[in-house]
Amino acid sequence: MLFRSDGTCVLTVPAVHFNEIHFNPNDYLGFTDLTHEFIEIHNNTAAPVNIAGWRISGGVDVTFPIGASIPANGFVLAVATPATYATAGVNLYAYTDDLNNESEELRLYTNNNILADQVSYYSNCWPAAADGTGPSLELRNYNLDNNLPASYCTGVQNNGTPGHINSCFTAQILGCTNTAATNYNQIGRAHV
């Protein structure tokens, strides 16, 4: 099982992880699923990561081609329509199908078919404003468990922050709140 710490826990953190998910854009404003959905992957290391042959599966499918990489501390986007995010300043990779607006399990596999990360979101228990009102789900800190609803916020703008630091990102996270860690602190605060 993969865990993320709150920044103080002693755990193994995946270097490459899901960071932002725009699963249900605002149709009323003209931002449809097929044009504005995206999945952002972040490289949480100081060196580029070669992701050629890696793939995302679960609801949508994309395999990253030869030459695909994520820059040091950078991002890539898997998108429904690449033209929509052509100015995001990151590499874009088109996926097939579309994200479910109610729930989905996304999995990221390496080129050796090893599970690198996974996220299961549910619209009824994750931040509500990400469900059809315009903003995306944004991870609050790269070291949080990205499979927990409390680790996310909804962005402050329509269509999120693709290719950029999340709008609600905070480096200040106090206390180890992961029960799997050796330095777990039950009174620690996961978010400030």
pLDDT of residue 146: 85
Sign of CA dihedral 127, 132, 135, 138: positive
Query: What share of the chain has pLDDT > 70, as a percent?
Result: 82
CB 66 within 8 A of CB 19: no
Q: Decide if 188 contacts 177 (C-beta within 8 A).
A: yes
162-172: average pLDDT: 86
Q: Name the percent of the chain lying above pLDDT 90.
A: 54
Please state the rounded mean pLDDT for residues 121-133: 87
The reported pLDDT for the residue numbered 118 is 93
Phi, psi of 120 (to 5 degrees): -120, 115
Q: pLDDT tens-digit profile of 38-57?
A: 999 999 999 999 999 999 99
Report pTM.
Answer: 0.84
